[in-house]
Amino acid sequence: MDSLQKLGFSEKTKLLIIHADDAGLSHSENRATIEALKNGFINSYSIMVPCPWYYEMALFAKNNPQFDAGIHLTLTCEWENYKFGPILPISEVPSLVDENGYFYKNRDQLRENASPIDVQKELEAQIEKALKFGLAPTHIDSHMYSVGANPAFFKIYKNLGEKYNLPVLINEQLMEMVGLDPKLNIDKEDLLIDNAFVAEFKYFETGKLGDFYSRILENLSSGLNLILIHPAFDDSEMKGVTVNHPNFGSEWRQIDFDFFTNEENRAKLKENNIELITWKDITRRKV
């Protein structure tokens, strides 16, 4: 538990960040994220700068600096009818977009088409836009962990963390999930998330998403842990965004919201000696 040492915690400490991805994606996502921050027990989130509802969420972040808020660096748009693309002019980052000027749908297409220089320019522009608006991001992470699509992108991602002095989400399971070799792409000085949890489709499909989250809380290992969720409401906007995409779809997101705003589930933190920690705490404590 190298990360516990780096942060000055004893080796048995169970640290946990409960993180909402995808803020800014839609009004539904924004409302659910804000509600879960205020009245639920998520304690960190990150914003997608290229998305249609970015401005609403950025205003919230600026006016509510008590909540941990990072930049959810975005290079892909997985939805069928709801499209977004780079914040830079397409002519400056042509390798990032499909024939209609929108981000590719998945990491494979991104890997095949995107040049590192375009990835570098666009991700930096996303951070700069947030800074210019007056945000004080607490961390950076990556939508669909697309920065792991190839080693060059991952290097850019880590360099951005250094450049802006922000902690970066680095985790072996996520790297393996997206096909990036941890051995070759982790440096000794990197602060690692020991365990990152993202639900898989099989849990949603079989109605076991809540059970999956309960089991995480009940069996958490010591170390620096992270649960990635996507709270939103199963309303008509979100059904439209996620149409024909039950994986991380509106029903799934409603379950995420329900679980992490439920007081019985919150009680599991105490019952299992789990300490919530934010990215801001991590920056403060890092040796």
Residues that bind a copy of itself (CB under 8 A): 26-28, 30-31, 52-53, 55-56, 59, 81-84, 88-89, 91-92, 100, 102, 133, 233, 235-237, 240-241
Please tell me the distance from the alpha carbon of residue 26 to that of residue 48, in angstroms, as a whole number: 10
DSSP, residue by residue, 103-146: BBSSHHHHHHH--HHHHHHHHHHHHHHHHHTT---S-EEEGGGG
Query: In the complex, what is the shortest distance from the CB of residue 112 to a copy of itself, in angstroms, rounded to a whole number?
Result: 22
The residue (of 77 and 282) whose beta carbon lies closer to a copy of itself is 77
Is residue 282 within 8 A of residue 3, CB to CB? The reply is no
The residue (of 8 and 134) whose beta carbon lies closer to a copy of itself is 134
Query: In the complex, what is the shortest distance from the CB of residue 166 to a copy of itself, in angstroms, rounded to a whole number?
Result: 22
The residue (of 65 and 89) whose beta carbon lies closer to a copy of itself is 89
Please tell me the distance from the alpha carbon of residue 199 to that of residue 60, in angstroms, as a whole number: 27
Query: In the complex, what is the shortest distance from the CB of residue 246 to a copy of itself, in angstroms, rounded to a whole number?
Result: 18
The residue (of 190 and 251) whose beta carbon lies closer to a copy of itself is 251
Residues in a beta bridge with 104: 76
Query: In the complex, what is the shortest distance from the CB of residue 56 to a copy of itself, in angstroms, rounded to a whole number?
Result: 4
Query: In the complex, what is the shortest distance from the CB of residue 82 to a copy of itself, in angstroms, rounded to a whole number?
Result: 7
Residue entry with tokens 């409960």: 18
Is residue 68 within 8 A of residue 44, CB to CB? The reply is yes
Please tell me the distance from the alpha carbon of residue 135 to that of residue 166, in angstroms, as a whole number: 13
The residue (of 137 and 223) whose beta carbon lies closer to a copy of itself is 137
* C-alpha pair distances (Å), 287 with each of 4, 218, 282: 11, 30, 10
Query: In the complex, what is the shortest distance from the CB of residue 1 to a copy of itself, in angstroms, rounded to a whole number?
Result: 43
Is residue 217 within 8 A of residue 260, CB to CB? The reply is no
The residue (of 94 and 182) whose beta carbon lies closer to a copy of itself is 94
